[in-house]
Structure 1
Amino acid sequence: MSTLEPVEAALAALLEDVGPLDGEPLATERADGRVLAEDVMARLNVPPFDNSAMDGYALHHADAGRWLPVSQRIAAGAPAAPLAPGSCARIFTGGELPAGADCVAMQERVEVDGERVRTPPDLPAGDNRRRRGRDVAAGQRLLAAGTRLDAAALGHLAGQGITRVTVRRRPRVALLSTGDEIVEPGQPLGPGQIYNSNRPMLRSLLNRFGAEVVLVEAVPDEAEATRRLLREAAAAADVVITTGGVSVGEEDHVRHAVEALGRLDLWRLAIRPGKPLALGRLPRAEGEARFIGLPGNPVSGFVGAWLFLRPLMGALLGCPALASLPRLRARADFATTTGPRRHYMRVSLDIGADGIVARAFADQNSGVLSSCVGADALADIPPSSRVAPGDAVDCLWLRGD
């Protein structure tokens, strides 16, 4: 493929025929960050009964403004007897509203004289009353399939007494680093060698995207070893990711190994950073494993992970929230000019009363990983564009997961 291709075309090819993985049961207390495989229906009304939103006095609104005897005291969790006509009940926040009462006067607005009280005459019906089922009605859909379970969703499940849910199996990923020049941190560096920054970076992002990294390997610059490790990776994982090794150099064996074992499509993308991308499939006992060859340059790998790995994991998890990054409109505090490639600039965002300002990292070179450290977003600058300070730019938000 000689011409430069848009991101959208490569992404469509990557996601072709990708469907959600199977579901598996899991204890709710262990389901943080997991994706629901099926709808969860509400078993209970929340709240289960009309209750008080305030500490105060429960009464019938027609009796407001009169002196009323206090006929009972209702604490949260205690049973409530029907309200005697012409009386009120001392009630506390969360206490069950007694039959015959339709409002609660907050205690700060009530006059107290021994065992009787007078409430404001303008008290409306329903004041400070939380109705049964106001939050959730029994039988309604509580959470939809594809929901990624966060703190609020887990609280929602707990409020129904639900202790087990069916979630998508996490995509299993093999992460292979290529090149004899790549050394793991903690090992001594030899001449011409560099430390492997891709592995911990991509592993962190993959965990964030909902995947499970089941295999990490260093791939030597040797053809047979490359084929063997790719076979092992495909047997263990749903997705095989390599960094580097898919160009046309004599020591780039990954490309030939993937072509020999399965299928490979090479893409020259109209983006900066990250022009080269390899997509393919590797055979395994059950179907095929997806193959993605990211550039070895760590900034290109970082951008490629957000653009391609995140939506792939979203498709495997059946999670629409991972399908695309949220877009924000911001004012640029920088100037730039793009050529034929779309530029993904690493920017921090300042959010203030006057809107959002995108501040670009000074050095946008694809070899400068420090440009990714404080990045809140990727400013998406179209090809053949000129941006001046103050111009509006689209930014892909990276902080939402």
Structure 2
Amino acid sequence: MRFDSVIMVDWSGGNDRGKRPVKDAIWTCIAQAGQADAPIYHRNRQVAEAWITETLTTLQATGQRVLIAFDLCFAYPTGFATHLIGQEDTLGLWDWFAARVTDSPEANNRFDLAGEINARFPGIGPFWFNGLQRDIAHLPRKGSDRTDHGLPEKRAADLAIKGSFSPWQLAGAGAVGGQVIMGLPVLSRLRQTFCKDLSVWPFQPPDTQIVMAETYFSLLPDLVADDAHPIKDASQVTLYAKAFSALKPDDMARLLNIPATQEGWVLGAGEAEVLRAALRPTPPPLRNDCFAMPQGAHWTPVDDALDHLRDHLGPVTATETIPISQSAGRYLAEDLRALRDHPPAPNAAVDGYGFAGPAPDGPQTLPLLAGRAAAGQPYPHAVPPGHAIRILTGANLPTGIDTVVLQEDCSVTTTDVAFHGSLKQGANARAAGEDMQAGNVILTSGRKLTPGDLGTMAAVGVGQVTVRKLLRVGVLSTGDELREAGAQADVGHIYDANRPMLCALAAQWGYTVVDLGCAPDDRDTLRQILDDATARCDVILTSGGASAGDEDHMSALLQNAGALALWRIAVKPGRPLALGLWNDTPVFGLPGNPVAAMVCALIFANPALRLLAGGAWQLPTGFMVPAGFQKSKKEGRREYLRARIENGKAHVFPSEGSGRVSGLSWATGLVQLDDPAQKIELGDWVQFIPFGNFDL
């Protein structure tokens, strides 16, 4: 079931709130496909009803299907309507209230009407909390004063939602009863205005152009605080307009598939995870030509290849909101803002004595007040000018204090504290927000969260964070000649070194590894393996079959799928990389030789996978060291030599052959030699990149 527009309404039973937007007022927001307009403040119910009527009229005229949901109980517990109007007819009850409620921007009769309704029931109640100074007959001020009225306290829908309030409470913190009485007449008039084009869910089938429903703006309490609007009501209507408008048609249909009941239901009750999922951005699929690079006889320089990956790749993972305790190593999906100042109040940086600074040169003696300020135990009084108070590290500065002198610099009696100046104003004190300020971005999207980041987030009150789901990296080897390590092999076979190596790389980079095994040199089998893999993987790393020979089946399959880019990269070690999409899943076809596979994974796959996982583009950095080797390098290709540091110099592995796997264990990093021809002599400066700088 699809709606073109969704309108969320946060209702109020209070009087006119003035021109300036305030909390506990009426707020509305309209959204389409997960994109919300700015929330709108309405100073009173008359203004709000006029806006709703006008907006629905406009959307109706343009043919849009509209869901309008109110944070307002549409019905009372079973038995109320029958006792009042003779039958359990909720929509008829709306009309009954519409005929009896009087309302103006400055006054209404909700408390008097509640008293009149209570008089029709046995005992005392069900309504309570007279919010006026004058007494009202039959309307108790306390819920505990009610007795024997014969009605349940809550509906089934209210019981299904943690923290919901009873519709009988007319005023007080969190009360909804007053706004229900003042809202039902508006709902009744909307039904009359739009007649057959409007249905009320779940009392009527939601098959009209306009569907009106009840919702509850505390289904996603932890997400509201992340919104930038300073007024919570405005944040709520915006959040829920986004969530409901972003629901997939099947999910919306499931939420609306509730049996009709005269008690009604709350749209989205028990479905918080569905709403969360709707709010998570789904990355667009990669373009089928994302790997396409102008091809020719030339070899593509490494920097050009890296620039192409950076410019054409993006996140392929969805997002999820998790506790910060589980977020280390995950990529932030959006900028993170501080929820409060850090420190939240001015406080002492040392143990000592606080006073109003500055203190001039020379000996100083101040009267010492009894008591002290400690972390978590603030001094409750103001400190008079010219007096001092004992204060401990981390304690909030009492009123009248802005400077602290170290206790080691003081002589103290029971009545006085003496020390030498000078001491500038604000010494040894921290200002509120000097580290982080509420609302400011403290961590940016794409950052891989560290243990230090968890401390930063916790310090400003962030308990949950929206991150990218872990990238699922499939690793596949190809070739009839391969055997599993430890299995029987003759001289015509080789053990598969690439797959365990690449699996370990992906795991160490923090991704979820999907071991796809080894594929034979058979295109139908390889095709089936790739089809199955794309259901389980976000990206696939393969080794072997990445060139253009008769047995290079990976390249051939990607070519037939119309998504092959065979990159001739000017790099050594390394052969052409086969890159492409299989069922919209990116495939990196690495060389078959282990050293070339490892180097190409470090140089190309590492930054590319980071982007696909939702991280920021990042290349490894190295440092210059004297060469402990000699080499004559030809022009045209960038070379990466397996190397290690010994006695302050870079030494390289004796053989540059890409089949010499043992050099990967011997080395602790790579020496990078750039494209121009070079003649390296002992002691010349070369760039060394430790393996640790490749996130290993």
Structure 1 residue 124, shift from structure 2 partner: 2.3
Unaligned runs of at least 5 residues, structure 1? none
CA shift digits 1:21-47 (9 cap, x unpaired): 333222221111111111111111100
CA 223–98 in structure 1, closer or farther in 2 if over 3 Å, else same:
same
Deviation at 1:97, TM superposition (A): 1.5
Shift of 1:112: 2.6
Residue in structure 2 matched with residue 385 of structure 1 by the alignment: 678
Once the two structures are superposed, what CA deviation does each residue of 1:78-105 show, in whole Å capped at 9, x if it has no partner? 1123223332212111111222222211
Question: Which residue of 1 is the match for residue 569 of structure 2?
Answer: 269
The one-letter code of the counterpart of 2:558 is V
CA distance in 2, matches of 1:45, 1:226: 56
Q: Indicate conservation of the 8 Å contact 1:244/1:294, yes or no.
A: yes
Bigger RCO (CA 8 Å, 6+ sep): 1
Whole-angstrom distance in 2 between the partners of 1:138 and 1:14: 36
For 1:338-353, what aligned pairs fall within 5 Å after superposition?
Answer: 338-339=633-634, 340-349=636-645
Distance 1:350 1:43, change over 3 A: farther
Change (3 A) 1:16 1:229: farther
Matches of 1:247 and 1:10, distance apart in 2: 17
- Greater helix share, 1 or 2? 2
Counterpart Cα distance in 1 of 2:522 and 2:579: 21
CA distance in 2, matches of 1:299, 1:276: 14
Alignment of 1:184-223 (within 5 A): 184-223=484-523
Matched residue, 1:336? 631
1:70 equivalent to 2:368? Answer: yes
- Cα distance change, pair 11–123 in 1 and its aligned pair in 2 (3 A): closer
Secondary structure of the structure 2 residue equivalent to 1:61: coil
Q: Secondary structure at the match of 2:518?
A: strand
The CA distance in 1 between the partners of 2:309 and 2:341, in whole Å, is 43
Residues of 1 paired with 2:444 and 2:466: CA distance? Answer: 12
Structure with bigger gyration radius: 2
- Asked if 2 retains the 8 angstrom alpha-carbon contact of 1:311 and 1:323, the reply is yes
Within 5 Å, give how 1:233-244 maps onto structure 2.
233-244=533-544
Relative to structure 1, is the Cα distance of residues 119 and 195 closer, same or farther in structure 2, using a 3 angstrom cutoff? farther
Q: Distance in 2 between matches of 1:258 and 1:63?
A: 77
Give aligned-pair identity as a percent.
37
Contact conserved, 1:209 with 1:313, CA < 8 A, in 2? Answer: no
Q: How does 1:1-400 map to 2 (within 5 A)?
A: 2-14=297-309, 17-21=312-316, 22-62=318-358, 65-71=363-369, 72-80=371-379, 81-282=381-582, 284=583, 288-320=584-616, 322-339=617-634, 340-349=636-645, 357-373=649-665, 375-383=667-675, 384-400=677-693
SS for the counterpart of 2:686 is: strand
Q: 1:379 is paired with a residue of what secondary structure? A: strand
Structure 2 residue matching 1:58: 3-state secondary structure: strand
- Work out the CA distance in 1 between the residues paired with 2:571 and 2:328: 35
Q: Give 3-state SS (helix, strand or coil) of 2:658's partner.
A: coil
Cα distance 1:190–1:167, how it changes in 2: closer, same or farther (>3 A)?
same
- Structure 1 distance, partners of 2:386, 2:646, is 59
CA pair 233-11 structure 1, distance change in 2 beyond 3 A = farther
Alpha-carbon deviations, 1:133-184, whole Å to 9, x = none? 1110111111111111111111111112212211123333221111233222
The alignment partner of 1:73 has SS state of: strand
CA contact (8 A) 1:105 1:127 kept: yes
How far did residue 280 of structure 1 move?
A: 1.8
* Shift in alpha-carbon separation, 1:142–1:233, aligned structure 2, 3 A: same
> How much does 1:7 deviate?
1.8
- When you count strand as a share of all residues, which structure comes out higher? 1
Unaligned runs of 5+ in 2: 1-295
Provide the C-alpha distance between the structure 1 equivalents of 2:529 and 2:356, rounded to a whole number of angstroms. 76
TM norm structure 1: 0.88
User: Contact 1:227–1:258 at 8 Å: present in 2 too?
Assistant: no
Partner Cα distance (1:67, 1:262) in 2: 85
Deviation, structure 1 residue 294: 0.5
Partner Cα separation in structure 2 for residue 291 and residue 59 of structure 1: 67
Partner amino acid for 1:153?
D
Change in Cα spacing, 1:120 to 1:186, as seen in structure 2 (3 Å) is farther
Label 1:207 to 1:337 Cα distance change in 2 as closer, same or farther (>3 A): same
Q: Label 1:91 to 1:306 Cα distance change in 2 as closer, same or farther (>3 A).
A: same
Contact 1:47–1:135 at 8 Å: present in 2 too?
Answer: yes
Identify which range, 131-140 or 178-187, moves more after superposition: 178-187
Query: Shift of residue 199 of structure 1?
Result: 1.8
C-alpha distance in structure 1 between counterparts of 2:488 and 2:374, whole Å: 68
